[in-house]
Every structure is written in C-alpha cells, then in structure tokens.
A and B are shown apart, each in its own frame.
Chain A
Amino acid sequence: MNKIFETPLYPYRRAPEQDEERIMRHKVVVVGAGPIGLAAAIDLAQNDIPVLVIDDNDKVSFGSRAICFAKRPLEILDRLGAGDAMVEKGVEWEFGRVFFGEREVYRFNLLPEAGHKRPAFINLQQYYFEEFLVRRLRELEAEGRPVEIRGKNKLAAIGAHEDHVTLEIDTPEGPYNLEAEWLIAADGAGSPTRRMMGLDFVGKVFEDNFLIADVIMQADFPTERWFWFDPPFNRGQSALLHKQPDNVWRIDFQLGWDIDREHELKPENIDRRLRAMLGEDIRYELEWSSIYTFQCRRMETFRKGRVIFAGDSAHQVSPFGARGANSGLQDTDNLIWKLRLVIEGKAPESLLDSYDFERILAADENILNSTRSTDFITPKSEISRILRDAVLDLSAEHEFARPLVNSGRLSVPAIYDGSPLNTADALDGPAISRPGAPCPDAPLGEGFLLDRLGDRFILLTIDAEAPDEIEEDGIAVTRLALSVRDDTTGALKRRYLADEPSAVYLIRPDQHVAARRPSWNENLFRAAIRRATGKE
C-alpha cells in the first residue's frame, strides 16, 4: 500500500536563509500546510502577495480526517482554482438514514436547491483535499507566482512586534531565523503559535472521544449518510457510516469521555465493533483508525497584532455538522482580501478588525449548532434522554418530529448581520442576499453567477444602470450587468430581486453582499465602498 499520505509532497530542502547571516523578512508567512493554510497561501499567491508556508511535516495529513465539504467552501475553491478537482474526485450524496436502537426510523433527502453550480456536499478524504491544494499551489509556483512551501520546518519560537513577527524555525539541519510582516497561524486545534504566544482558548463546552475507522470494502450500501442513535453495537452512544472515494467507508463510533484508548484501538476490538455493526461476514481492510477528542471553544480574538489565527487554531467545534474545515475555509476567504488591501496600502489596518467581528460571529454560530447537536446525541440528564427518545420514537411515524432529530446541522455559511462593513439594506429584496450574506449562486446561460464574480469588488446590476468601472480611494470596482431577460430559470430574480424590478448590489471580493439598492446612486455607493473597506 502506497497511499498519498505516505509520500512526501513537499520534502525538506535547505532554504537560502540557512546559509545567510542576514535575516530575511517575508511579506506573509503561513504556519501549517493543512486545508486552511494551503487555501490562504493560494489566495495570496493568486493575488501576487508573496507568501511562505511552513509545516513541521512534509506530507498531507494522515488518515481521512475532515471528509465532508459543503457547497460554500466548494465555491471558494472554485475561486482558488481547485474546485473541479475536488468535485470530480469527491462522492456526492443527498440521502441519509436515521436509526434508533434496533430499527431504522426514517430516510431523508437533503433536497438540494436547484440552480447552483456546486452540490450541497461532497465527501472527500482530507489527504486528497490537501493533495489537490498542494498541486494548485505548485501550479501557481510554476507560473512564477510568489509562493513557497517548506516541509520539516517547525516553528520553535515566535516574537511579536508592532510591525513584524520574528520566527525561529527548526529543521533537520538545525534552526534558523526569519521575519514576517504578517503571520497566519493555521496550525490546528493544538496551535503551537497560540501556545507560544500564551493566548487563551476558552469555552470548553463538551468533551468526548470518537473512534474513527476507515475501512476499504466492496459493499453494496448506498451512498448515504447513516446515523445511529443508541445502536445495539454501541449502546448509549452514536455511530456514523459514510462513503468516501475509492471504496473507503468512514465509520465513527462515539465512545464517551472515560475510556481506555489502548484497549479501544486494538484491531480485534475494532473488528468486533465493525462486525456487530455491518454483519459477521463482512470483508474489509482497515486503512486507518484513530481516537480523537474534541471540545467546543474559541479564542477571544482571532488577531493579535500581526498574528492572525484561522481555522481550528482559532476555534474548535464538535464533528457533527462538518463545521470544522468548512468554517476554516471561510475564515481565509474572509481574511485574505482584507489582508491584501492592507498590504497594498489600499485599506487601513483596522479593516482586519472586521475579520474578528465576522468570523467570531460565524464561530459562535458553529459552536451553538454543534453544541445543540451534541446535546441531542448525548443527552446529559435523564429527562433530556427521555425527550430525545420521544423525538426519535415519533419520527418513525410522524414527519413533524424529524426536524427535531439532530445528528448534526450541516455546515452553511454565516450571514454577517451587523457587520461594520455592511451598508444598511435599501432594497426590499430577498433575505438570502441581504447585506452580509454570501451571494447565492444562479445559472447564467451556460455558466454560473459566482464564476463571474471572481475575487474583486463587483457592482452587480440587474436591469439597472451604473458605470462600468469606478474607483474609490484606490478600490477599483467593476460592473457586472445582468438582466432578468437572461434569467431563464428565474433563479436570479428569486435570489436577488424578489418583487423589485431592478437592483444594484455591491459585492465584496469574498462574494458577500456589502450593500444593495434599487438603483445606482453614486454618492451612496462610494460611501458603501469606503464602509466595506474599513474607511467609515
């Protein structure tokens, strides 16, 4: 077996700094080459902002880990030039089954809304996800974009200064020093950066252990998400079965808090659980198994001067709902355009405060959702178990009880209501595209709306006039002119106009709405641009 996660993808090479006395100052250093660090680096490199990624390893992550990627992150990956590879390899799914005790209580369809380029979800092993991002990063490197990745470069010490950060880095050939104007810490839940800086990571809400087994088997189970509450093969706990590419099946067994890790990880004990779950006669190969624990918590602020935290280093949630990697990708999506404008001198450093506001809002929403899921899955008192069981019992016969069943509320993007970058809503339009919301996709002839937005400020006009280009204090804004006449499916009207005859939207580089009005008004839109870039 020679899996991708066993092959070095960015092997250690001696860096120029290791042979020089002079300490080099880099524009941006990203710590951690996981999904979030790689996405941040690609976003910066695409915009010609020099970026160096360091990672203490030289391979993609071991084992499948994050496996479920939602629509919004896939749209972000499209912007980063890596969406197609993920969706082609990934497994799409839309059905699920819920089991309670010995029986199946119901089957559901996610019923994804039509008229979006990307599916509601794909399942894809994290090692593929990282491999495709590394491949994209290499493509950019080959194009001459300013990006570099250094394996076996481990952050050993950090010094935070007002306008830069100093780093000491350990390598197989000894330590060296470098400096960064900006540091993005995407080094995971155990973030060494956070620890070395002595920063808090509070709000522990829930603790549990999960045994994950990735098994390769030729099974005729359908491509569905199967979730068990209190199954006979894992009494009092939950279990999950989900398909990944290459006939790899992900099986999660919840174990509870007080467990004997060594005992649980013994192959014969995993085998016993698998056979009780899937049948005595199954044939499988165990690809990977692991026990992980999680907590629900976040940092008080995601930015400390020139050090910015993104992904699990900033916030951690339970796995229910796939809100970890998916929200981390939205962190960098939110951060990078702001950092780019600050580095280019087009926006004040205070624009980065909105990263804190917007992504803390999202983190709190994710923590709330995943806490509610864990409260349902693992009732903490006798009465909460009685109520939970009543919901599940009723759900078999009665449709009304099914929305109460909570085996994870799957990741959806946060709407940045109340963000300092929003201009008050001036259109009587649909709520889903109000200021702060991510732009909903819509079919446009052969293509899709989001592909036309890209990563710059856009004035989207629907049957309204506006200049083709405007510039406000260094921020260039390009118009995208659309009409309901080209809206063959009606999705554009439903998602952006409702009953209004026309609209002008100011859209941020991360494809979130900043402002909207029924028609063009130069003064008001110039003010909206200033507001969206932290200047008002």
Chain B
Amino acid sequence: MPDMTDLILTPNLDDADGFYAALLAAHEGLSKEESDAFNARLILILANHIGDNSVLEKAIGTAKKGK
C-alpha cells in the first residue's frame, strides 16, 4: 500500500485507453476558449477529489518539471 500522501506515478488508471478517448471526446467540437475553460474545470474537480494538499503540491511540482 502506498502512503496516502504519496502522489501515484505508476500506472493507476482502470482503463487508460478508455479514459484518454473520453478526454479527447470531451474536447471534440470545442473552440480553443471552450477547451481551455473545460480543462480548468476538470483540474479543479480532480483537485477537489484528491483534497490532500501535499499530494496536490507534488502533482503541481511534477507537472512543472514537464516532459
């Protein structure tokens, strides 16, 4: 069991391909502006679901490092 405050960076999605397809589908037909707003809403919804600030900080740090 990983520590609850650890950011999971190993495969954890039930259905990786299915999730990715759903994410692309959600952006389908949206303008750049609408897509940006969608992404922002999605980040906020996911962040709230995670809740734990130390995990969120690690996620922000990991994303910041990029590639």
Which of B6-14, B17-25, B37-45, B57-65 faces chain A? B37-45
**Interface-centre pick from A386, A389, A398, A401 (highest chain B CB count, 10 A):** A386
- Interface residues of A: mostly helix, strand, loop or mixed? helix
Find chain B residues with CB under 8 A from A400 CB: 45, 48
By beta carbon, the residue of chain A nearest B48 is: A400
* B44–A394 touching, CB < 8 Å: yes
Mask: chain A, 385-418; 1 = CB below 8 Å from B; 0 = not = 0110111011000101100100000000000000
* A393–B48 touching, CB < 8 Å: no
B36 at interface (Cβ–Cβ under 8 A)? yes
* B48–A390 touching, CB < 8 Å: no
- The CA of A387 and the CA of B40, in the complex, are separated in Å by 5
- The CA of A394 and the CA of B43, in the complex, are separated in Å by 12
The number of A-B residue pairs with CB atoms under 8 Å apart is 26
Within 8 Å by CB of A389, from B37, B43, B45, B48, lies B37
Query: Which residues of A346-377 are within 8 A (CB) of B?
Result: none
Q: How far is the CB of B4 from chain A (nearest CB, A)?
A: 20
Given A383-B36, A394-B45, A400-B45, 5 further pairs, Cβ under 8 A: A387-B44, A391-B44, A394-B44, A398-B45, A400-B48
Residue count of chain B within 8 Å CB distance of chain A: 8
Find chain A residues with CB under 8 A from B36 CB: 383, 386
By beta carbon, the residue of chain B nearest A391 is: B44
Residues of B within 8 A of A (CB): 36-37, 40-41, 43-45, 48
* B44–A389 touching, CB < 8 Å: no
By beta carbon, the residue of chain A nearest B40 is: A390
- The CA of A405 and the CA of B60, in the complex, are separated in Å by 20
| In the A-B complex, the 8 residue pairs with the closest CB atoms | A390-B40, A400-B48, A390-B41, A386-B40, A387-B40, A386-B36, A390-B44, A394-B41
- The CA of A398 and the CA of B49, in the complex, are separated in Å by 12
- The CA of A387 and the CA of B43, in the complex, are separated in Å by 9
**Interface-centre pick from A389, A390, A391, A404 (highest chain B CB count, 10 A):** A390
By beta carbon, the residue of chain B nearest A387 is: B40
- The CA of A387 and the CA of B37, in the complex, are separated in Å by 7
Q: How far is the CB of A103 from chain B (nearest CB, A)?
A: 16
- The CA of A404 and the CA of B40, in the complex, are separated in Å by 13
Mask: chain A, 55-72; 1 = CB below 8 Å from B; 0 = not = 000000000000000000
**Interface-centre pick from B36, B37, B44, B45 (highest chain A CB count, 10 A):** B44
* B37–A393 touching, CB < 8 Å: yes
List, sorted by A's number, 26 A–B pairs whose CB atoms are closer than 8 Å: A383-B36, A386-B36, A386-B37, A386-B40, A387-B40, A387-B43, A387-B44, A389-B37, A389-B40, A390-B37, A390-B40, A390-B41, A390-B43, A390-B44, A391-B44, A393-B37, A393-B41, A394-B41, A394-B44, A394-B45, A398-B45, A400-B45, A400-B48, A401-B44, A401-B48, A404-B44
